[in-house]
Amino acid sequence: MLIRDILARNARIHPERIALSLGREDITYRELSARASRYASVLQGLGVGKGDRVAVLTHNSPLYVELLYAITQIGGVLVPLNYLLLGRELSAILRRADAKVLLFAAEFQSVAEGIRAALPSIPHFVCIDRPLEGYGDLAEMEARVSGISAAPVPLSESDIAIQIYTSGTGGVPRGAMLSHRNMVAASVSAALELRLSRNDIYLSAAPLPFMAGTGRLLRFQYMGGTVVLLRDFDPEEVLRTIEQRRITHVLLTPTMIARILDLPSAGRYNLATLRTVLYGGSTIPVELQKRAIRFFRCGMVQIYGQVESAGVLTFLHAEDHSLEESAPYMRKLMSVGKEAIGVEARVVDEAGREISPNQVGEIVARGLNIFEGYYRDPSSTAEVLRNGWLYTGDVASVDEEGYIYIVDRKRDTMMVGGISVSPKEIEEVIEEHPAVKEAAVVARLDYELGEVPAAIVVLKEGERADPEALLAHCRENMAPYKIPRLIEFIPSLPRNSQGKILKAKLRERVVSGSIPRTPRR
């Protein structure tokens, strides 16, 4: 099955069912299919063919979903761009993506101008929501192809559909290639695990360019359900929409859950239709889980996955979310659950042997949802795909019942509010500052965001410590969520006999609370 088959079937079987909604705009499956087909014709007119990369830069909107189906309908590869990133960060991604077209919303005009200056090799820049001088106009192009159907393109399930960029351990973004088979297999697995139906109404509050956005949306549309979009996350708007649109399912990161629970007006809303709160993306404190169980009073389901697994590896189901204080129940709350349907997940030692209960190893998985590799990066691909297994880099134990517990990471990454961040990338930006000799960035646990970056900085001889100047430099050169929340200046970084920085010691220093909080603006 292909992604385009999901839409075609829904448009054929129940054309008048609401597929998408944003604000007062409702779009049926028939309308969604027609719009996607028109945009597919536009893209073919620009020369987009099978395997060509098409980047999209916009906030959550029905247009993003229409373009998702349009691009994949003709064999193109969607490259969703994280709109929280700055121009230099997006340029670094697009330089590696070989994008043929950049489709962007008008609010990102200045970003698009910077990208065009940095990457004149991208043939087409098209504004998708209003005319802009000097850029292609999607509406005008659509009018020119009115009545012209997109030429059929033969595709197979192994063809790449989506290429999502993640933070590499070396600070270089890596394009995870996900085939039609990967995305559909993940949708089937989640639909079965969650017992989804076409009567479900899903609130999409997560950014669509992330797997949590695009992946979850496809799960519900695979079953013919309705997806209600929010342009941006706002805790009050989430609760209001659940009440007004009779939402049955919502996906929230721990950060979102914390903001909702801290809202003074949260108790005023009627959430009776809510059947399941899905959550995941970063570490969640047990106390926050308990608060969420008490507040939402519906099924809580934790999903653990990675971009490389199309977002699906394990589920911790509602029956495992108990407020019972006895040891077995409390222990399960700290688990990520058991392997998903269609996925084989194990915890193995360094030799690849499955570990015994309560030992520690690495989570590996295989299934039809496991990605095809990193775009033009065979060495990184070989590092994580071995003998048909995805090596996640997550260190875990497993109990006698098969529940998996993540205890650490093998790779130097952190999850900030559910977004993967490479410390190396932050270190490189900090070291661009003329006063800095070297820097090391480690994760510090945070109740709301799961983890936040903490920077330990060594200055050049004669330079004065100025945290505000360094933070200003960071604000100019990296996305807001990457900016260090904590900074400390020290004479030298601890190293081992081979000269490698001992980040474990720096993490201990951060956890001990010896680093003062640095204000952010």
Per-residue pLDDT of the chain (521 residues; tens, 9 = 90+): 999 999 999 999 999 999 999 999 999 999 999 999 999 999 999 999 999 999 999 999 999 999 999 999 999 999 999 999 999 999 999 999 999 999 999 999 999 999 999 999 999 999 999 999 999 999 999 998 888 889 999 999 999 999 999 987 667 899 999 999 999 999 999 999 999 999 999 999 999 999 999 999 999 999 999 999 999 999 999 999 999 999 999 999 998 999 999 999 999 999 999 999 999 877 788 889 999 999 999 999 999 999 999 999 999 999 999 887 765 667 788 899 999 999 999 999 999 999 999 899 999 999 999 999 999 999 999 999 999 999 999 999 999 999 999 988 888 888 898 888 999 999 999 999 999 999 999 999 888 888 999 999 999 999 998 999 999 999 999 999 999 999 999 999 998 877 889 888 898 888 654 443 333 33
Contact yes or no for 479/472 (Cβ under 8 A): no
Distance, in Å, from the CA atom of 7 to the CA atom of 490, rounded to the nearest integer, reads: 57
Does one domain contain both 403 and 439? no
pLDDT attached to residue 171: 72
Check the CA dihedral 248-253-257-259 and report its sign: negative
Does one domain contain both 377 and 423? no
Does one domain contain both 118 and 6? yes
Instruction: Report the candidate in 20, 1, 19, 22 with the shortest Cα–Cα distance to residue 10.
Output: 19
pLDDT attached to residue 331: 79
Residues in contact with 11: Cβ distance below 8 Å, sequence separation at least 6, in sequence order? 29, 30, 32, 33
How many CB atoms sit inside 10 A of residue 402's CB? 14
Instruction: Report the candidate in 131, 3, 128 with the shortest Cα–Cα distance to residue 54.
Output: 128
At 405, which CATH number? 2.30.38.10
pLDDT attached to residue 94: 97
DSSP 306: -
The answer to whether residue 389 sits within a structural domain is yes
Tell me which of 155, 179, 212 is where a domain ends: 155
Does one domain contain both 459 and 365? no
At 109, which CATH number? 3.40.50.980
Tell me which of 409, 426, 458 is where a domain ends: 409
Range of the domain at 83: 1-155
Does one domain contain both 454 and 493? yes
The answer to whether residue 464 sits within a structural domain is yes
The answer to whether residue 110 sits within a structural domain is yes
Domain count along the chain: 3
Does one domain contain both 347 and 443? no
At 441, which CATH number? 3.30.300.30
The answer to whether residue 63 sits within a structural domain is yes
Does one domain contain both 462 and 435? yes
Exposed, middle or buried: residue 521 (CB in 10 Å: 0-12, 13-18, 19+)? exposed
Instruction: Report the candidate in 390, 344, 425 with the shortest Cα–Cα distance to residue 174.
Output: 425
Structure tokens at 226: 């309705």
pLDDT attached to residue 179: 98
Does one domain contain both 422 and 405? no
The answer to whether residue 250 sits within a structural domain is no
Strands 385-386 and 201-204: unpaired
Distance, in Å, from the CA atom of 110 to the CA atom of 55, rounded to the nearest integer, reads: 16
Beta bridge partners of 458: 438
The answer to whether residue 162 sits within a structural domain is no
Does one domain contain both 336 and 393? yes
Distance, in Å, from the CA atom of 403 to the CA atom of 338, rounded to the nearest integer, reads: 5
Q: What is the largest CA-CA distance in the chain?
A: 72
pTM flag (> 0.85): yes
Does one domain contain both 429 and 469? yes
Backbone dihedral angles phi then psi of residue 28, each to the nearest 5 degrees: -80, 170
The answer to whether residue 310 sits within a structural domain is no
Structure tokens at 289: 């889980």
Does one domain contain both 330 and 383? yes
Identify the three-state secondary structure at position 505: helix
Does one domain contain both 113 and 69? yes
Tell me which of 114, 138, 155 is where a domain ends: 155
The answer to whether residue 135 sits within a structural domain is yes
Cα-to-chain-centroid distance, residue 489: 32
